[in-house]
Amino acid sequence: MNVTSATGSTSKSNTTDSTKNTASNTVDYNTFLQLLVAEMKNQDPTNPMDTSQYMSQFAQLSTVEQAMQTNSKLDALLSSQSLSQANGLIGKTVSFTDATGANFSGKVVSISINSDGSIATLENGTKVAVGPGLTISQS
Protein backbone atom coordinates (compact mmCIF):
# COMPACT_ATOMS: atom_id res chain seq x y z
CA MET A 1 0.00 0.00 0.00
CA ASN A 2 1.40 3.43 -0.95
CA VAL A 3 0.90 6.24 1.53
CA THR A 4 1.63 9.86 0.67
CA SER A 5 3.29 12.15 3.14
CA ALA A 6 0.98 13.78 5.67
CA THR A 7 3.26 16.81 5.96
CA GLY A 8 3.50 17.40 2.23
CA SER A 9 7.23 16.80 2.06
CA THR A 10 8.48 14.35 -0.53
CA SER A 11 12.21 15.05 -0.28
CA LYS A 12 14.58 12.53 1.22
CA SER A 13 16.43 13.40 4.39
CA ASN A 14 20.03 14.50 3.94
CA THR A 15 22.56 16.63 5.75
CA THR A 16 21.10 19.89 4.47
CA ASP A 17 17.65 18.91 5.73
CA SER A 18 19.00 18.61 9.27
CA THR A 19 19.58 22.36 9.37
CA LYS A 20 15.93 23.14 8.64
CA ASN A 21 13.52 24.10 11.37
CA THR A 22 12.45 20.94 13.17
CA ALA A 23 8.99 22.36 13.92
CA SER A 24 7.90 21.66 10.35
CA ASN A 25 8.86 17.99 10.75
CA THR A 26 6.88 17.28 13.92
CA VAL A 27 3.66 15.32 14.07
CA ASP A 28 0.89 16.84 16.17
CA TYR A 29 -2.46 15.37 17.19
CA ASN A 30 -4.27 16.59 14.05
CA THR A 31 -1.68 15.03 11.76
CA PHE A 32 -1.78 11.83 13.80
CA LEU A 33 -5.57 11.67 13.53
CA GLN A 34 -5.38 12.28 9.76
CA LEU A 35 -2.90 9.42 9.46
CA LEU A 36 -5.09 7.23 11.64
CA VAL A 37 -8.19 7.91 9.52
CA ALA A 38 -6.21 7.26 6.32
CA GLU A 39 -4.93 4.01 7.81
CA MET A 40 -8.45 2.96 8.77
CA LYS A 41 -9.82 3.80 5.30
CA ASN A 42 -7.08 1.85 3.55
CA GLN A 43 -6.87 -1.22 5.75
CA ASP A 44 -7.86 -4.67 4.54
CA PRO A 45 -11.50 -5.22 5.61
CA THR A 46 -10.89 -8.96 5.95
CA ASN A 47 -7.97 -8.38 8.31
CA PRO A 48 -8.56 -5.10 10.21
CA MET A 49 -5.99 -3.69 12.60
CA ASP A 50 -6.54 -4.42 16.25
CA THR A 51 -7.85 -1.41 18.21
CA SER A 52 -5.16 -1.95 20.83
CA GLN A 53 -2.59 -1.08 18.15
CA TYR A 54 -4.37 2.23 17.55
CA MET A 55 -4.38 2.98 21.26
CA SER A 56 -0.71 2.05 21.50
CA GLN A 57 0.15 4.45 18.67
CA PHE A 58 -1.89 7.21 20.30
CA ALA A 59 -0.17 6.64 23.66
CA GLN A 60 3.25 6.78 22.00
CA LEU A 61 2.37 10.06 20.30
CA SER A 62 1.13 11.47 23.59
CA THR A 63 4.35 10.47 25.33
CA VAL A 64 6.52 12.05 22.65
CA GLU A 65 4.51 15.27 22.68
CA GLN A 66 4.76 15.50 26.48
CA ALA A 67 8.53 14.97 26.25
CA MET A 68 8.75 17.78 23.68
CA GLN A 69 6.78 20.11 25.96
CA THR A 70 9.07 19.19 28.85
CA ASN A 71 12.13 19.98 26.72
CA SER A 72 10.79 23.41 25.78
CA LYS A 73 10.03 24.16 29.44
CA LEU A 74 13.55 23.08 30.41
CA ASP A 75 14.98 25.35 27.71
CA ALA A 76 13.00 28.27 29.15
CA LEU A 77 14.23 27.42 32.64
CA LEU A 78 17.85 27.29 31.49
CA SER A 79 17.47 30.65 29.72
CA SER A 80 16.05 32.16 32.89
CA GLN A 81 18.92 30.74 34.92
CA SER A 82 21.45 32.15 32.42
CA LEU A 83 19.87 35.59 32.77
CA SER A 84 20.03 35.41 36.56
CA GLN A 85 23.69 34.41 36.48
CA ALA A 86 24.49 37.11 33.92
CA ASN A 87 22.84 39.75 36.10
CA GLY A 88 25.17 38.74 38.94
CA LEU A 89 28.25 39.42 36.78
CA ILE A 90 27.43 43.03 35.95
CA GLY A 91 29.68 45.34 37.96
CA LYS A 92 32.15 42.58 38.83
CA THR A 93 35.80 42.67 37.80
CA VAL A 94 36.92 39.84 35.56
CA SER A 95 40.33 38.80 34.34
CA PHE A 96 41.33 36.35 31.66
CA THR A 97 44.19 35.29 29.41
CA ASP A 98 43.51 35.15 25.67
CA ALA A 99 44.88 32.62 23.17
CA THR A 100 48.02 34.72 22.60
CA GLY A 101 48.88 34.71 26.31
CA ALA A 102 47.98 38.35 26.94
CA ASN A 103 46.25 39.11 30.26
CA PHE A 104 43.16 41.31 30.34
CA SER A 105 41.11 42.68 33.20
CA GLY A 106 38.12 44.97 33.52
CA LYS A 107 34.72 45.63 34.98
CA VAL A 108 31.71 43.99 33.32
CA VAL A 109 29.22 46.57 32.04
CA SER A 110 26.89 44.28 30.10
CA ILE A 111 26.23 40.65 29.25
CA SER A 112 24.71 39.31 26.03
CA ILE A 113 23.37 35.79 25.86
CA ASN A 114 23.15 33.94 22.56
CA SER A 115 23.03 30.32 21.42
CA ASP A 116 26.81 29.97 21.85
CA GLY A 117 26.77 31.15 25.47
CA SER A 118 27.23 34.39 27.36
CA ILE A 119 29.50 37.24 26.22
CA ALA A 120 30.61 39.85 28.75
CA THR A 121 31.43 43.38 27.58
CA LEU A 122 34.02 45.19 29.70
CA GLU A 123 34.29 48.95 30.34
CA ASN A 124 36.94 49.33 27.62
CA GLY A 125 34.73 47.55 25.04
CA THR A 126 36.54 44.22 25.17
CA LYS A 127 34.21 41.27 24.72
CA VAL A 128 34.98 38.01 26.51
CA ALA A 129 33.18 34.67 26.57
CA VAL A 130 31.91 33.75 30.02
CA GLY A 131 33.29 30.32 30.75
CA PRO A 132 36.42 28.41 31.68
CA GLY A 133 39.49 30.57 32.26
CA LEU A 134 37.53 33.61 33.40
CA THR A 135 38.31 34.85 36.93
CA ILE A 136 35.58 36.87 38.63
CA SER A 137 36.27 39.11 41.61
CA GLN A 138 34.51 41.84 43.59
CA SER A 139 34.96 45.41 42.35
In this model, does residue 20 exceed pLDDT 50?
Answer: no
Mean pLDDT for the chain? 76
- How buried is residue 115: exposed, middle or buried, by Cβ count under 10 Å (0-12/13-18/19+)? exposed
pTM assigned to the model: 0.46
Tens-place pLDDT, residues 57-111: 778 878 888 888 899 899 888 888 877 877 888 888 988 887 788 888 889 998 8
Please state whether beta strands 127-129 and 135-137 pair in parallel, antiparallel, or not at all (unpaired).
unpaired
* All domains in the chain, ordered by first residue: 29-41+55-139 (2.30.30)
How would you label 13-33 residue by residue, b for 16+ Cβ within 10 Å and e otherwise?
A: eeeeeeeeeeeeeeeeeeebe
